[in-house]
């Protein structure tokens, strides 16, 4: 049995259900990789603060990637083994764009937790606790893909 993880496929291939798989190729893929590298090298204060907690041994077997490509989306933090993405919304961010990105991810069965930048700066440990609680919840990806178990949430700390 093969283990599935969050990743970018090299080319579009039909999935068993007949729909096209997410794919990013060529110049767009290279641009996303460059943006991810830049954001890892120069994180905002909130992202650096949360990464200190997510990158530590606190979460045990749950490993996070910082500035990861998930499909055609660049996310702040991803835990591939639990199909979980953590996003930080900066002050002045477009809520409609955030909602669209969250919906793209939840439509393919990925749980999204979105935190306001101010909430992370004010209570990074509380945010880490909320992430830990979500990691420990049972999660059925197939149910989430069908819309029954949508896992998007917003934490206002």
What is the full DSSP assignment across 90-106? Answer: PTT--HHHHHHHHHHHH
Supply the pLDDT for residue 37: 92
Q: What angle do CA 102, 124, 85 make, to 5 degrees?
A: 25
CA distance 36 to 107: 23
Supply the pLDDT for residue 2: 54
Q: Which residues of the chain have pLDDT under 50?
A: 8-20, 149-151, 155-157
Supply the pLDDT for residue 10: 40
Instruction: Collapse the DSSP code of 70 into the 3-class scheme (helix H, G, I; strand E, B; otherwise coil) and give the result.
Output: strand
Q: pLDDT digits over 105-131, tens only?
A: 988 889 999 999 999 999 999 999 999
Strands 73-79 and 84-89: antiparallel
Supply the pLDDT for residue 71: 80
CATH numeric code, 44-155: 3.40.960.10
Supply the pLDDT for residue 27: 87
Supply the pLDDT for residue 62: 87
């Amino acid at each position: 049995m093969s283990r599935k993880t969050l990743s970018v496929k090299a080319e579009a291939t039909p999935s068993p259900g007949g729909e096209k798989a997410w794919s990013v190729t060529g110049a767009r893929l290279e641009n996303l990789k460059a943006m991810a590298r830049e954001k890892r090298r120069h994180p905002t204060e909130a992202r650096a603060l949360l990464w200190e907690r997510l990158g530590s041994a606190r979460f045990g077997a749950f490993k996070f990637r910082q500035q990861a490509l998930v499909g055609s989306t660049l996310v702040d933090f991803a835990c591939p083994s639990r199909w979980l993405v953590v996003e930080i919304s900066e002050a002045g961010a477009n809520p409609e764009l955030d909602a669209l990105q969250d919906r793209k991810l939840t439509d393919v069965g990925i749980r999204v937790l979105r935190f306001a930048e101010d909430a992370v700066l004010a209570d990074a440990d509380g945010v880490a606790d909320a992430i830990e609680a979500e990691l420990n919840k049972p999660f059925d990806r197939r149910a989430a893909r069908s819309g029954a178990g949508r896992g998007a949430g917003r934490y206002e700390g």
